[in-house]
């Protein structure tokens, strides 16, 4: 066939495909040329793992069956492009009605105040989809296991509830039981930190059937960072409680950060130096070069039988259960005990996995053209019937009281007994300090590195990065306060014109109190950034 003719055929096919896509876009339900005039509620999330993606589709299908006058569409966006995609959609005015979001998404802390709608009035009322359940007459926010008491559920700087949550999370060690038996003769995973180290030693010099060197832990930038966040926060529990000025079961992240600039703590304290020694021990049991690998690489390494274990959250549990070609064993990560030569003196045991915190928060787009319908779907997916559908389809833990946990998920329920802390020490302070850790962590975790080598460069870079993060937080707090002024002025004006109303007065007093606290935190941050330790003196 002549080259020119092939070119024309290719152009024709490309044009036909383009026309087909245009027709599909403009004739899909809710679009300009569609004959289906039902309102379309779009919900976006990044949970593309096996299980939750199917669960979201099942929720939409169940809701559509119960509410034929509304159509719900689910958009699953990969996590590695989610922030960029979301920012583009919000700026262009094309964002979905319901959006999954988290403050840990770096570079996006301004989004809630600018683009999301408060849902306080809604969550103060019972959820109608809970009729016939024990939660029938309970206000919506109290049906959640944590009462929506999370950074995303209730945003302190904005003095309102903003999100509802779908699940609980926990961290677990998943073992390849077949490989474990081959190495140790036992299918039961290690129960103590000493047994974990002994298993790592037994792997020295061993290879997988594919010829790859066997590692104890499958590693990636993501998995190992999560592991180190958890372990350092636990070895530093005594420090966390010592700096807890408001007695909140551990200092909150912002207070912990300000206390660093005041000179209240530093990374050379014995609790943290010994914690870094533990992190190095774990890193040396992971394949070298893990920091350059993405999360999927760790999953593939584990599935190929090139690592005995992987430490990850319940978000990966369903994928592992369905895709693993071997039997899985699941257990908690065994913490160092008092016998550990470095960290033993600083360990408080037993340790709780924290408060019953729920996750996967979903927000209402302030620009949604179908706000009431969007709220109605949010009610359905977080009702007892809706959350039950999600749990059984996803293999994740519930967020709602009264949803039964299947037997196979019970090993993932968070431990409640023991000491509890709140703050992470490495990456929770903001985008800049997290980047500092990413850039310098190799000085700690590589075979040529060490704790002293790491801290010599990390400490000065961390201090500079922390100031940048706190400055950005202060600007966001100021923006949040400005957005509250019209509402406060309006409530005060109504009281003056119409006389005091008890409900309105209570609302105004609550908003004013929250505004005062936000202002106090804002000015404290400015003072510490300007004067550092001199503030305390």
The per-residue pLDDT for 18 is 64
Q: Is 446 a domain residue? A: no
43 is a domain residue = yes
Q: What is the pLDDT at residue 235? A: 86
| pLDDT mean over 498-517 | 82
Report which of 62, 40, 163 is spatially closest to residue 112, judged by C-alpha positions: 163
Q: Are residues 204 and 289 in the same domain?
A: yes
Q: How far apart are CA 287 and CA 306, in angstroms?
A: 9
**Phi-psi sector, 33: left (phi>0), alpha (psi -120 to 50), beta:** alpha
Under the phi-then-psi rule, with left for phi > 0, alpha for psi from -120 to 50, and beta for the rest, what region is 49?
beta
In a domain, 452, yes or no: no
The fraction of the chain above a pLDDT of 90, given in percent, is: 49
Q: Which residues contact 445 (CB under 8 A, 6 or more apart)?
A: 224, 279, 280, 283, 284, 291
Residue 193 per-residue DSSP state = H
DSSP state, residue 138: S
The answer to whether residue 377 scores a pLDDT higher than 90 is yes
Domain termination site, one of 306, 322, 352 = 352
**Domains of the chain: total:** 3
Question: Is the confidence at residue 30, as pLDDT, over 60?
Answer: no
For 429-475, the DSSP string reads S-HHHHHHHHHHTHHHHSTT--HHHHHHHHHHHHHHHHHHHHHHHHH
Phi, psi angle pair for 350, to nearest 5°: -75, 165
Do residues 429 and 253 make contact, with C-beta atoms less than 8 angstroms apart?
yes
More confident residue, 231 or 7: 231
CA pair distance 495, 311, nearest whole angstrom: 56
Lowest mean pLDDT of 61-75, 150-164, 188-202, 401-415, name the range. Answer: 150-164
Residue 103 reports pLDDT greater than 70: yes
- What share of the chain has pLDDT > 70, as a percent? 93
Do 128 and 90 share a structural domain? yes
Q: How confident is the model at residue 32 (pLDDT cuts 50, 70, 90)?
A: very low
214, part of any domain: yes
Residues 472 and 507 in one domain: yes
Average pLDDT of span 36-59: 91
Measured from the Cβ of residue 113, the count of other Cβ atoms closer than 10 Å reads: 20
Q: Is residue 233 very low, low, confident or very high in pLDDT (cuts 50, 70, 90)?
A: confident
Of 306, 326, 352, the last residue of a domain is 352
Asked if 344 and 392 sit in the same domain, the reply is no
Q: What is the 3-state secondary structure (H, E, C) of 328-390?
A: EEEECCCCCCCCCCCCHHHCCCCECCCCCCEEEEEEEECCCCCHHHHHHHHHHHCCHHHHHHH
State whether the Cα torsion 426-429-430-436 is positive or negative. Answer: negative
Please determine, for residue 316, whether its predicted confidence score (pLDDT) is greater than 60: yes
Q: Are residues 148 and 276 in the same domain?
A: no
User: How far apart are alpha carbons 258 and 35 in whole angstroms?
Assistant: 57
Q: Say whether both 267 and 197 belong to one domain.
A: yes
- pLDDT value at residue 21: 56
273 with 152, same domain? no
On whether the CB atoms of residues 122 and 128 are closer than 8 A, the answer is no
Three-class secondary structure of residue 12 per DSSP: helix
Please check whether residue 90 lies inside any domain of the structure.
Answer: yes
Instruction: Note whether 118 and 250 are same-domain residues.
Output: no
Please report the pLDDT score of residue 149 as a whole number: 87
Read off the pLDDT of residues 236-257 as tens digits, 9 standing for 90 and up: 888 888 888 877 766 778 888 8
Q: How confident is the model at residue 310 (pLDDT cuts 50, 70, 90)?
A: very high
Residue 85 lies in a domain: yes
- Out of 24-28, 73-77, 473-477, least confident range: 24-28
Residue 158, pLDDT above cutoff 90: no
Q: What is the mean pLDDT of the chain?
A: 87
Domain co-membership, 113 together with 128: yes
For residue 399, pLDDT over 50 is answered with yes
Would the pLDDT of 522 be above 80? yes
DSSP category for residue 325: S
Contacts of 214 (CB under 8 A, 6+ apart): 179, 183, 203, 206, 207, 208, 306, 307, 308
pLDDT in tens, 270-280: 999 999 999 99
Average pLDDT of the segment spanning 201-219: 86
Domain enclosing residue 46, as ranges: 23-167+356-412
What is the CATH classification number for the domain harbouring 218?
Answer: 3.40.190.10
pLDDT (0 to 100) of residue 221: 86
Q: Round to whole Å and give the CA distance between 90 and 407.
A: 41
Q: Are residues 280 and 209 in the same domain?
A: yes
Q: Is residue 333 part of a domain?
A: yes
Which pairing describes strands 171-176 and 307-313: parallel, antiparallel, or unpaired? antiparallel
Residues forming beta bridges with residue 418, ordered by sequence position = none
Q: Which residues contact 359 (CB under 8 A, 6 or more apart)?
A: 150, 165, 166, 167, 168, 169, 399
Question: How far is the C-alpha of 168 from the C-alpha of 398, rounded, in Å?
Answer: 6
The answer to whether residues 115 and 207 belong to one domain is no
HEC letters along 210-259: CCCECEEECCCHHHHHHHHHHHHHHHCHHHHHHCCCCCCCCCCHHHHHHH
Same domain? For 340 and 227 the reply is yes
pTM of the predicted protein model: 0.82
Per-residue model confidence as pLDDT tens digits over 331-358: 999 989 888 988 888 888 888 876 557 8
| N-to-C CA span, the chain | 86
**Residue 14 belongs to a domain:** no
Q: Is the pLDDT of residue 260 over 80?
A: yes
């Amino acid at each position: 066939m002549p080259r020119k003719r092939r070119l024309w055929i290719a152009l024709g096919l490309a044009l036909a495909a383009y026309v087909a896509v245009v027709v599909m876009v403009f004739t899909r339900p809710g679009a300009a040329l569609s004959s289906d005039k039902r309102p379309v509620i779009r919900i976006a999330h990044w949970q593309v793992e096996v299980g939750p993606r199917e669960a979201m589709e099942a929720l939409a299908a169940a809701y559509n069956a119960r509410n034929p006058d509304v159509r719900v569409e689910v958009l699953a966006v990969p996590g590695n492009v989610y922030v960029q995609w979301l920012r583009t959609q919000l700026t262009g005015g094309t964002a979905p009605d319901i959006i999954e979001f988290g403050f840990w998404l770096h570079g996006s802390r301004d989004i809630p105040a600018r683009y999301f709608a408060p849902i306080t009035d809604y969550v103060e009322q019972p959820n109608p989809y809970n009729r016939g359940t024990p939660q029938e007459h309970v206000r919506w926010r109290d049906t959640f296991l944590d009462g929506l008491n999370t950074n995303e559920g209730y945003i302190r700087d904005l003095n309102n509830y903003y999100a509802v949550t779908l699940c609980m999370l926990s961290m677990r060690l998943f073992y390849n039981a077949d490989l474990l038996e081959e190495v140790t003769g036992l299918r039961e995973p290690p129960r103590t930190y000493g047994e974990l180290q002994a298993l790592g030693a037994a792997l020295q010099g061993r290879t997988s059937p594919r010829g790859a060197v066997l590692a104890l832990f499958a590693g990636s930038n993501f998995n190992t960072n999560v592991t180190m966040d958890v372990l350092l926060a636990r070895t530093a529990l005594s420090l966390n409680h010592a700096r807890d000025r408001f007695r909140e079961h551990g200092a909150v992240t912002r207070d912990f950060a300000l206390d660093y600039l005041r000179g209240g703590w530093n990374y050379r304290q014995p609790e943290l130096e010994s914690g870094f020694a533990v992190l190095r021990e774990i890193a040396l049991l992971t394949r070298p070069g893990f920091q350059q690998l993405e999360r999927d690489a760790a999953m593939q390494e584990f599935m190929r039988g090139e690592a005995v274990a992987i430490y990850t959250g319940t978000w990966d549990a369903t994928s592992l259960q369905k895709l693993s070609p071997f039997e899985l064993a699941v257990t908690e990560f065994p913490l160092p005990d008092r016998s550990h030569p470095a960290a033993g003196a600083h360990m408080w045991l037993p340790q709780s996995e924290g408060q019953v915190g729920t996750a996967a928060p979903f927000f209402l787009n302030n620009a949604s053209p179908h706000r009431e319908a969007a709220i109605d779907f949010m009610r359905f997916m977080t009702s007892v019937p809706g959350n039950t559908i999600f749990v059984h389809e996803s293999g994740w833990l519930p967020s709602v009281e009264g949803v039964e946990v299947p037997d196979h998920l019970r090993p993932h329920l968070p431990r409640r007994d023991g000491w509890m802390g709140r703050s992470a020490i490495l990456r929770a302070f903001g985008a800049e300090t997290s980047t500092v850790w990413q850039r310098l962590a190799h000085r700690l975790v590589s075979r040529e590195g060490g704790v002293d080598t790491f801290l010599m460069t990390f400490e000065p870079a961390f201090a500079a990065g922390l100031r940048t993060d706190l400055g950005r937080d202060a600007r966001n707090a100021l923006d949040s306060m400005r957005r509250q002024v019209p509402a406060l002025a309006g409530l005060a004006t109504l009281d003056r014109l119409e006389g005091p109303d008890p409900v309105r007065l209570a609302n105004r007093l609550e908003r004013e109190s929250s505004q005062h606290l936000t202002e106090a935190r804002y000015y404290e941050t400015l003072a510490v950034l300007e004067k550092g330790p001199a503030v305390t003196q």
